[in-house]
Amino acid sequence: MKRFALSDCNNFFASCERIFNPDLIGKPVIVLSSNDACVIARSNEAKALGIRMGEPFFKVKDLAKKHNVQVFSANFALYGDISSRVMTTLSSFATDIEIYSVDEAFMFLPDAHPDVHAQQEQFYTEYAKHVRYKVMKNIGIPISIGIGETKTLAKIANGFAKKRTDGVFDITQHPEVDQLLASVPVEDVWGIGYRYKKKLARKLIFNALQLKNADQQWIRKNLTVAGLRTVQELNGISCIGLTQETPRDSICVSRSFGKNLSQLQELKTALAHHVTRAAEKLRTQKTICYHLTIFFCYQSYADPERLYAYASKQLHMPTAYTPTLITAALDCLQQIFKPGYIYKKIGVVLSDLHPEQSIQLSTISQLPEQTLEKQTSVMKTIDTINAKFDKKVSFAATHNKHEWAAKAQRRSAHFTTDWHEILTIKI
């Protein structure tokens, strides 16, 4: 019988930093969010110091200095590339895989070969250990693997795997599964959020075992079908299969500025840059959009209260053509820009997305079909060049100097995504 497995990279962002700097192993490491504002990743050593996830960096700065905590600005280009390598390796060991997040993936493990039938009980554990060894050997990222009859049980098993030195735990082989479930707080069960936790507490359900044995009619009425599926999964009935990655129904690109902005031209440059990134994501998932929204966070010089402004534009035709989207965004900017204010953050949202082949553009477009084909060809060429030569082609509206860019004063090099920052070794 096939088993679900959940592979989860341990302290992923911190582990990525350690790949190219082995001296960090065993030392406390934290990674900061955009603008070096909050803690978004911690090594086990940093957790032991009491540094909490999401805590503003200024609150832990003295603690970090006292204990020589290694602090890094987020390097998402590096983390994304390492994630891709991990997922590619995992895919080679699974009959099917669902990439759940940047550092997690659900897998179907293959059935045991008849020749190892005598060791069937330990087959999945040993197989998972081999997978873990290969990921560590090939990439340098430690992972934990939980195995169960369902995705929910595999998720719970992964929590126990993280506490083991071998990093693997097969809950199906444990003699007292109910005892394990009794030790898991109900809010730690996959799919049980804060709202469901409050409802379950009123029913005196505080752990996974109590949820497993709960009245299913009451669960269906109060936690809907999603809650009922979770209960059935805890009982070993697989109700949630692996899903393939689907295009997002909207794309948002937003960042806080590294410095306060007040001039319209600076905002135009920043907005054009964000639209360009959003359009690239749009084309990557092979979609086009009908609707564009921009927003700003700003405040006056006299009043510290932050205000928000929004503007939207319905496009005459769906598109993923960057110049068209930049023009629409700049039109929106003219509607909401207010002189004399301090601008803190900018964002663009592309919504009402459809597959690029789902609409015959030539039948509704105000442009000749030949022009549309040229636009598609131009964007494909630019995307190809930028993918190969690290963003060498840009639009004039974005300029080259991004003095407004978010702070990243502690960012490590782009070791795997930029030829100019590739690691060099002196022999």
Given a contact cutoff of 8 angstroms between Cβ atoms, the answer to whether 391 and 414 are in contact is no
Question: pLDDT: is 414 or 120 the higher one?
Answer: 414
Q: Where are the domains of the chain?
A: 1-174, 175-244, 250-398
Strands 96-101, 104-109: pairing is antiparallel
Tell me the pLDDT of the chain averaged across its residues.
Answer: 87
Reported as a single tens digit per residue, the pLDDT across 149-161 is 999 999 999 999 9
Tell me the percentage of the chain whose pLDDT exceeds 70.
90
Specify the range with the lowest mean pLDDT, choosing from 170-179, 298-307, 321-330: 298-307
Burial of 22 (0-12, 13-18, 19+ CB in 10 A): exposed
Reported as a single tens digit per residue, the pLDDT across 265-314 is 889 988 999 999 999 999 988 899 999 999 988 887 777 777 888 899 99
Amino acid at 61: K
According to the model, what pLDDT value does residue 306 have? 78
pTM: 0.74
250-398: CATH topology: Dna Ligase; domain 1 (3.30.1490)
Closest CA to 91 of 79, 106, 103: 106
Amino acid at 63: L
Winning range, highest mean pLDDT, from 62-71, 243-252, 385-394: 62-71
Q: Work out whether the CA dihedral 212, 214, 220, 222 comes out positive or negative.
A: negative
Q: Find the mean pLDDT for residues 218-231.
A: 92
Phi and psi, residue 188, nearest 5°: -90, 0
CA angle 389, 372, 253 (to 5 degrees): 50
Homologous superfamily of domain range 175-244: 5' to 3' exonuclease, C-terminal subdomain (1.10.150.20)
What tokens does 218 get? Answer: 């009451």
According to the model, what pLDDT value does residue 10 have? 95
* Helix (H) or strand (E) run with residue 158 in it: helix 151-161
Q: Find the mean pLDDT for residues 117-143.
A: 86
For residue 143, pLDDT over 90 is answered with yes
According to the model, what pLDDT value does residue 119 have? 55
Reported as a single tens digit per residue, the pLDDT across 44-94 is 999 999 999 999 999 999 999 999 999 999 888 899 899 999 999 999 998
CATH number of 1-174: 3.30.70.270
Q: Tokens 């960042």 — which residue? A: 255
Question: pLDDT: is 421 or 27 the higher one?
Answer: 27
